[in-house]
Structure 1
Amino acid sequence: MTVTREPRLDEPPPETTAAGRGGGGRDGADFDQLYHAHFRSLTVQLTAYCGDLSQAQDLVQEAFCRAFARWSKVSRYDDPVAWVRRVAWNLASSRWRRLRTAQSFLRRQREEHVPGPGPDRVALDAALAQLPPNHRRAVVLHYLADLSVSQIATQEDVAEGTVKSWLHRGRAALATQLAATSEVNHRD
């Protein structure tokens, strides 16, 4: 049975040791010294910035991996640790930007909560549903879509007088149904 434990703040993750990556040679030794000397301090700095030890370790680890990939160039800098620190901070900043962008996107995707229809809207919908289809279309197109009688006549391919008749009958039926609904609601 193998027991695993969380790495301490002052020790690098196991996969980054020279034995873990098969390193060696003079350049590898310089990198190992830099890594072991500064991993902890950089992790402490990033932990203070991020507020999360494991995230800070990941960021510092990634910065060191990038330094190792460019070690022939980075090792010639006056202060290679400053380069690693800047990369780690840039990675942290990029992560914050990605998270902020993702959160903004998610906020825009959320549906806004709209309260349900009120009793008047429910009564109107129920009354409209009881109208004959042509009367209902005429009332909806005229009063909700703001179409004129002539526009409705053109759309429905009927005479304007027919549309006026549908509107008159539709309004009369709605008035009767809504009055009956109103009387029922006032009795309760």
Structure 2
Amino acid sequence: MAQENDFHEFYQSTRHRVVTVLYALSGNMADAQDATQEAYARAWQRWSRVSSYADPEAWVRTVARRIQLNRWRKLRNGLAAYRRHGPPAAVDPPSENTTALVTALRQLPVDQREAIVLHHLADLPVAAVASQLGVPVNTVKTRLARGRRTLAQLVGEELTEENANA
């Protein structure tokens, strides 16, 4: 409890200065606040050691500044990669069939939708679907049959005996 109080007092008495310094260095208040918050979280995790330093505030300031610099490096590297590779290729819009299927799936009860998606889209065998959903295999088979029947009605297709047993 004393350790928590010590950290709380340390935080209350130093946070404004640390944020101010980082803001002055970066010119971005949100970035300064984020880096400061992360640095204080790290200080809290190591408070038994950090509190014994001659200047714990300097440790927090240094860690926060490094966090800031690492974020800038990541942004700079991301920008360099973007320039090197160009923008990502345009993605075609979903087909009419995909849109119709997703619309129909949304209308199914959740248990049937889960069974159909895991079995048909994720290519899981019925036993694996049952295991993942925590239900018996026969329950999955029932959900699949009912879901297929409802999907067929929703997308306007005739459900053949072959599709029903697939």
Q: 1:36 aligns with which of 12, 36, 50?
A: 12
- Structure 1's unaligned 5+ residue stretches are 1-24, 112-188
Note the aligned Cα RMSD (angstroms). Answer: 1.1
Q: AA paired with 2:19?
A: T
Residue pairs, 1:63-74, within 5 angstroms: 63-74=39-50
Q: Distance in 1 between matches of 2:76 and 2:28?
A: 17
- Structure 2's unaligned 5+ residue stretches are 88-166
Residue pairs, 1:73-152, within 5 angstroms: 73-110=49-86
Q: AA paired with 2:52?
A: R
After superposition, the C-alpha distances for 1:47-76 in whole angstroms (9 at most, x for unaligned) are 112221122111101000000001111111
> How much has 1:38 moved relative to structure 2?
0.8
Q: AA paired with 1:84?
A: V
Find the counterpart in structure 2 of residue 50 from structure 1: 26
Task: Please give the secondary structure, in 1, of the residue aligned with 2:53.
Answer: coil
After superposition, the C-alpha distances for 1:50-106 in whole angstroms (9 at most, x for unaligned) are 221122111101000000001111111111111101100100111111111001000
Q: How many residues align?
A: 87
Once the two structures are aligned, what percentage of the paired residues are identical?
40
Task: Please give the secondary structure, in 1, of the residue aligned with 2:52.
Answer: coil
- TM-score, length-scaled by structure 1: 0.45
Which is greater in Rg?
1
Task: Please give the secondary structure, in 1, of the residue aligned with 2:54.
Answer: coil
Q: AA paired with 1:85?
A: R
